[in-house]
Amino acid sequence: MWFRNVLRLHDNPLLNKTCSSEKIESLVPLYIMEDEWFNLDSITISANRKKFLYESLLNFNKNFRIKYGVDILIFHGNSSKIINSITENLDNEFKWLLCDYCPEPDKRHTINKIKENLVNLEINLKVIPAVNTILDVEKVIQSNNFSNPKSSKDIEKIFAEKYEHSPHGYIIGDSLLPPSNLNIDKKKMEVLIHESTISEFYISEDILKNKLMELESKSKITDSYFVGGEDEALERFERKISQSPNFVNSFSKPSTISTNKDDNPLEPTTTGLSPYLSNGCISARMLWNECLKINFNSTHTLPPESLHGQLMFREMFYLLSRSVVNWDNDIENSNCKPIQWGEYDELKIKAWESGLTGFPYIDAMMRQLDATGWMHHLGRHAVSCFFTRGQLWQNWKYGRNVFEKKLIDSDWALNNGNWLWLAGVAPFSMPYYRIYNPCPDSKSSLNVETTNANFIRHWIPELSHFPSKYIFEPHLAPSTIQHDSKCVIGKDYPFPIVDRKQTRKRNLSLFKESNKQLSN
């Protein structure tokens, strides 16, 4: 039983499948951590992301032990090599490999490779669908009348075909309770831990705990706010969903504000469940069902703005990520219109990534991303628009890479989908001329008020004494105010790296020009 991206006991179809299958007499629970994740020095994954996964894995292991009396077998290394070694070391004594379906190309590639090897050994591979999604991705995209969804209406049609509709939302079926016991083969686990050719790749709970401590001391993750794991996920679920019917029933994205009114600038105004969803700590199906239950008792918002709407967009991107070839690329991608982006500009990209563009709203968001691994939905829109068609005119792929590395809710399907959308290259509704103002004033939908000013003061300490009136464009403040605020622009905080109005105008016409050439 190989857990790939499912680190929870609740609504985990793997556990129930295993339990209900009569063919399986005993099992060995397994997790494999790729070395990219295990190596603390790897630079493609941020310390925050690693921390979140380690915590999630430790918590899952603990819950598994409490429930079933044994730790999960954890190895690090290449998945297919580890699986091969296990078959060899157990003398082909196991007959089934069960795992959760993962739609990412590299993971599908891995599973195909493993399948080839298993077939020769007469071992069955069972990939359980829809573990971290509501829809069975493969089944939906292979159905006869499937075409790529492009809007909330399109994805709603897909739901409508499959599920019964109630006035309060689609009925997708109950989520699962974990089985009360599992017949685990401890002897085989002992063999793999102590007497196998992969013993050296075994990660005990103590090793993982030390690894987490080392990570925390090495990279001073002082601002990390989200703690990984099913326990935290369920606590947050309880607090923000189950016990907050008004929040659920009135939830209306995009009209959530990017900064919090209460004292904690780190607590999101949205659910904050995204990292738990993408790491498999909470079930999307359970979240859907809880919202449905709450919606039944009251009037409520509807898709696409409601929480059900958010979950539907998530499903839409999962489908597209599987059906659109080269989903993560800017060429040979049917969902990416070719735009002549500017030359790779290292200075601008570095300034953007490190929060030194001279645009406080953008910089605050990017510093929050770096420090915590999380950013509000609207902030993600603002900084990605700024990076691409708004101001910097850089290829969305470079921005995407930064998000992928740093976001604790990093998710291949969703991250690429949102960048395609915001860059204006996807065939979704996104008039390219709607460019977010990187210096949002009180008229902007990015909604400023004093909360955003406080948000900026929190993440950009250089500006902590700056008056709200000038804080979004501090270089426009009279020099007396700059001196009084102990922040002289050009010395203590950078001048804007671009003229926002001039770049906006130029980029609009460049985009228009690209469109013209494409339609010819």
Partner DNA sequence: GGATCCGTTGTAGCT
Partner DNA sequence: AAGCTACAACGGATC
Residue 511 makes CB contacts below 8 A (sequence gap 6+) with: 339, 389, 424, 432, 433
Largest CA distance in the chain: 79
- Select the span of 14-22, 148-156, 274-282, 338-346 touching DNA (CB under 7 A): 148-156
Give the total of residues touching DNA (CB under 7 A): 43
What residue type is assigned to position 458 of the chain? H
Read off the DSSP letter of residue 7: -
Read off the DSSP letter of residue 432: T
Which is closer to DNA, CB of 344 or CB of 433? 433
Which is closer to DNA, CB of 4 or CB of 504? 504
Which is closer to DNA, CB of 431 or CB of 478? 431
The helix or strand, by DSSP H or E, that contains position 479, with its residue range, turns out to be helix 479-484
Q: Interface residues for DNA in 310-339 (CB under 7 A)?
A: 310, 313, 337
Strand partners, 31: 3, 74
Is residue 151 within the footprint of DNA (CB under 7 A)?
yes
The answer to whether the beta carbons of residues 357 and 350 sit under 8 Å apart is: no
Q: Interface residues for DNA in 424-453 (CB under 7 A)?
A: 427-437, 440, 442-446
Structure-token pair, residue 37: 């994740």
Is residue 475 within the footprint of DNA (CB under 7 A)?
no
3-class secondary-structure state, position 362: helix
- Select the span of 2-10, 129-137, 172-180, 309-317 touching DNA (CB under 7 A): 309-317
**Helices within 121-244 (DSSP H only):** 137-142, 152-162, 186-194, 205-219, 230-237
- Could you give the angle at which helices 449-459 and 360-372 cross, rounded to 10 degrees? 60
| CB-facing half-sphere around the CA of 413: CA atoms within 13 A | 22
Q: Which of 150, 240, 397, 475 binds DNA (CB under 7 A)?
A: 150
Query: Binding mask 41-80 vs DNA (x if CB under 7 A, - otherwise)?
Result: ----------------------------------------
End-to-end CA distance of the chain: 54
Is residue 491 within the footprint of DNA (CB under 7 A)?
no
Is residue 268 within the footprint of DNA (CB under 7 A)?
no
Q: Per DSSP, which regions of 308-445 are E strands?
A: none
- Select the span of 172-180, 233-241, 322-330, 373-381 touching DNA (CB under 7 A): 373-381
CB of 459 to DNA, least distance (A): 20
Is residue 169 within the footprint of DNA (CB under 7 A)?
no
Strand partners, 465: none
Is residue 512 within the footprint of DNA (CB under 7 A)?
yes
The helix or strand, by DSSP H or E, that contains position 44, with its residue range, turns out to be none
CB of 247 to DNA, least distance (A): 16
Strand partners, 170: 165
CB of 433 to DNA, least distance (A): 4
What residue type is assigned to position 470 of the chain? Y
Is residue 396 within the footprint of DNA (CB under 7 A)?
no
Q: Which of 233, 378, 456, 460 binds DNA (CB under 7 A)?
A: 378
- Select the span of 222-230, 376-384, 459-467, 482-490 touching DNA (CB under 7 A): 376-384
Query: Binding mask 229-258 vs DNA (x if CB under 7 A, - otherwise)?
Result: ------------------------xxx---
CA torsion, ordered 323, 327, 330, 336, to nearest 10 deg: 50
CB of 250 to DNA, least distance (A): 14
CB of 280 to DNA, least distance (A): 21
Residue 413 makes CB contacts below 8 A (sequence gap 6+) with: 103, 104, 317, 318, 320, 321, 322, 327
Structure-token pair, residue 335: 């969902």
Is residue 465 within the footprint of DNA (CB under 7 A)?
no
| CA atoms of 75 and 197, how far apart (whole Å) | 12
CB of 398 to DNA, least distance (A): 22
Q: Which residues bind DNA (CB under 7 A)?
A: 147, 150-153, 253-255, 304-305, 309-310, 313, 337, 377-378, 381, 421, 427-437, 440, 442-446, 500-501, 504, 508, 512, 515, 518-519
